[in-house]
């Protein structure tokens, strides 16, 4: 397996959960982030956490904490940029991103995204699922080339906030994952979602 860096996106405000760090909430006897780390560490050679505010609250994980370089919480694209800038410092070509509040994402996320990126000859690959006759992209689960970081920086500076709009400008491959039985990209946004996640574990 070639070297690939992973980035956990945890830079949001968690307003629907009442604020704070959703990833540190308990789930099935551990914290949500512990489940995320367990899955991601097996798929990448090294990883960082994208989070804003005091990085000391994540010290115990021993991970680099990279903050958004764009102010006012502009969304996941800012986290992707922070990850790309960190990866550039490590001399990496790509990063794999996952959301910090999604503890059930596929164990073959990396391999499927890499496969589809090559097969479809696109620079970016995003995860997707099918439901109700529609294709749903999961834009926080992606494979991103470091070479696009300056373009992304410029896009954010001019007000770009939607992941899909920016990725479509460059070409994106979609890796379709099954959601039969349960949604592997189920994310915990509310206290009710946390109850559902407990049942899924």
In the chain, where are the structural domains located?
5-200
> What gap in Å lies between CA 47 and CA 65, rounded to an integer?
10
Q: What is the pLDDT of residue 12?
A: 62
CATH 3.90.550.10 fits 5-200, yes or no: yes
Q: What's phi and psi for 60, nearest 5 deg?
A: -60, -20
Tell the residue number behind the tokens 């800038």, with chain if given: 85
> What gap in Å lies between CA 41 and CA 47, rounded to an integer?
8
Q: What is the pLDDT of residue 17?
A: 44
> What gap in Å lies between CA 126 and CA 117, rounded to an integer?
9
> What gap in Å lies between CA 147 and CA 156, rounded to an integer?
16
Q: What is the pLDDT of residue 183?
A: 92
Instruction: Give average pLDDT by consecutive 10-residue segment, the chain, 201 residues.
Output: 89 54 92 97 97 93 94 85 97 97 97 98 97 89 98 95 94 94 91 92 73
Cα distances (angstroms) measured from residue 141 to each of 15, 28, 92, 157, 199: 21, 23, 18, 23, 23
């Amino acid at each position: 397996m070639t070297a690939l860096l992973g980035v956990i996106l945890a830079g949001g405000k968690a307003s629907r959960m009442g604020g704070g760090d959703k990833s540190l909430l308990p789930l099935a006897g551990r914290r949500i982030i512990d489940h995320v780390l367990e899955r991601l560490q097996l798929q990448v050679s090294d990883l960082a956490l994208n989070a804003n505010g005091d990085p000391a609250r994540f010290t115990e994980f021993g991970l680099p904490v990279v903050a958004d370089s764009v102010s006012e919480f502009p969304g996941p694209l800012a986290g992707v940029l922070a990850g790309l800038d960190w990866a550039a410092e490590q001399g990496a070509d790509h990063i794999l991103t996952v959301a910090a509040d999604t503890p059930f994402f596929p164990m073959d996320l990396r391999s499927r995204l890499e496969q589809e990126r090559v097969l479809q000859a696109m620079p970016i690959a995003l995860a997707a699922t099918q439901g109700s006759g529609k294709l749903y992209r999961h834009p926080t689960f992606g494979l991103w080339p470091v070479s696009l970081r300056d373009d992304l920086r410029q896009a954010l500076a001019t007000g770009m906030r939607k992941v899909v709009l920016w990725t479509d400008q460059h070409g994106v491959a979609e890796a379709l994952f099954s959601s039969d039985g349960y949604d592997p990209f189920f994310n915990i946004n509310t206290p009710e979602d946390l109850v559902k996640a407990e049942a899924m574990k």
